[in-house]
Structure 1
Amino acid sequence: MVAGEILLAEGRLETGWWGPAAAAAPTLVLLHQGLGSLGLWRDIPARLAAATGCGVFAWSRLGYGRSDPVRLPRPFDYLRQEAQSVLPRVLEAIGLQQGVLVGHSDGGSIAAIHGGTVEDPRRRGIAVLAPHFFTEAAGLAAVAETRARYEQGDLRARLARHHRHPDIAFHGWCDTWLHPDFPAFFDLRPDIAGLRVPVLAIQGEADPYGSPAQLELLARQAAGPVQVMLLPGIGHDPLLEAPETVLPALRAFTDRLFAVR
């Protein structure tokens, strides 16, 4: 990994790059989950670069990892702000030529919002893993269980190994999703209706945070082609839980778009 940073008006982002530079090959832009960070991708970026022949770029969003903190509470539209304000500036900063957004969980929602609402011809497709487009009672219950593990178990100590400000990372995510007014606010159907680029959508059937109904909605609402993969026995992190399935799927997806290998 080549470590780096991006300086925005809001603060500093920690970044990492694997494989070819943006001028030499297409770039896969990784968008992490609600408690994720640059480091929590583990060896996935290197494996993606090797499998696809693409460059891979990832960063910790503000409030996560070693990036600068944010002020809490987060606004309900924090995912749209990331997709429509922060992400375009990050793509400019890295000199993106052409690429694919690869988003996990919250990152998948950000990728879908960007794909459906921001005009950018460099974005040739998006891949979403366990994304959220609306709230579900079971998913909110899983968030509440995670809060209990944070307050009463070892989750805070584990997150502190990966986040400089673990309380900001955790409460910025948890407190927003569990706010009683958030379910009525959070509806990404208007955003994904504008998706015209090819989409690869992957969901674990055992995901406690979201059901296959999330991908069913995406397939109905998106204006462009959507390939749906449901993985039996897999939970919320298909890339880490089933890399032997997901990495080849991402390789086939990028091959169709770019034929880089």
Structure 2
Amino acid sequence: MHDSLGSVQLWRDFPAKLSLATECNMLAYDRLGYGKSHPMPTHERPVNYMELEADLLNDLLTELNIHNAVLFGHSDGGTIALITAAKYPERVEAVICEAGHIFVEEVTLKGVYDAWEAYKTTNLPERLQKYHGDKVETLFKAWTETWTRDDYRSWNIEYLLKNITCPLLFIQGEADEYGTLDQVEKTVSQVSGNAEKYIIPGIGHTPHKEVPEIVLERSVKFINREF
């Protein structure tokens, strides 16, 4: 599952390489409002939008008759993977969470504000348009305005973590500009299943793009060991 500005296309060849190396079937999709999907009806989101995305993912897995999923999610996608594993444990065999969030931090908000400034002052809108077409403004507002709303400051999914019983690998760059290592530590310490962390020195928010071979190798090792 992709991040808050991501799409299937932005994953590049990483999912295909992971599928080939693990001999697992692969499903990747653009969430509503991203990539080649239909536009969002509005940029306004409820506080629990990622919980609702987990429900939609469960519906998709049900429709496709998938009962033994290994979820790999980045950022928002990582959080959605965690929530799905907590709410629908019968469908999820394991989770790889890359740079996910379980609560709001000041560093996250700073990252959002910095991105908003880049959106206004650089060619970021044009670069995003390559992947999202005319949906860019809506999806960008959906991300930035939701995370910086006063009522979103108290968003927290730690209460769900105890319901995650499947194996978990949490990958994060040590220099992640959107989250501290508290996100990792508080996740792996509160889930009920076996959990491990993989912190990559000097790497930011997108390890699968910054050091794809390292992330691929570690993910393959995790999946092959569990299955």
How many angstroms does 1:171 deviate by?
1.0
1:151 alignment partner in structure 2: 120
CA contact (8 A) 2:168 2:196 kept: yes
- Pick the structure with more helix per residue: 2
Q: For residues 91-170 of structure 1, what are the structure 2 equivalents within 5 Å?
A: 91-120=61-90, 122-164=91-133, 165-170=135-140
1:12 alignment partner in structure 2: none
1:3 alignment partner in structure 2: none
Deviations 1:5-27 (A, max 9, x none): xxxxxxxxxxxxxxxxxxxxxxx
CA contact (8 A) 1:239 1:247 kept: yes
Q: For residues 217-256 of structure 1, what are the structure 2 equivalents within 5 Å?
A: 217-256=186-225
CA contact (8 A) 1:103 1:128 kept: yes
Q: For residues 6-85 of structure 1, what are the structure 2 equivalents within 5 Å?
A: 31-70=1-40, 71-83=42-54, 85=55
Give unpaired runs (5+ residues) of structure 1: 1-30
Instruction: Name the SS of the counterpart of 2:102 in structure 1.
Output: coil
How many angstroms does 1:97 deviate by?
4.1
How many pairs were matched up?
225
Give unpaired runs (5+ residues) of structure 2: none
Instruction: Name the SS of the counterpart of 1:221 in structure 2.
Output: coil
Root-mean-square deviation (CA, aligned residues, Å) is: 1.1
Instruction: Name the SS of the counterpart of 1:59 in structure 2.
Output: coil
Deviations 1:87-123 (A, max 9, x none): 1111123331422010100001001011112242x31
TM (normalized to structure 1)? 0.83
Residues in 2 aligned to 1:139 and 1:119: alpha-carbon distance in whole angstroms: 28
Q: For residues 179-198 of structure 1, what are the structure 2 equivalents within 5 Å?
A: 179-184=149-154, 186-198=155-167
Residues in 2 aligned to 1:89 and 1:170: alpha-carbon distance in whole angstroms: 25
Give the AA of the match of 1:56: M
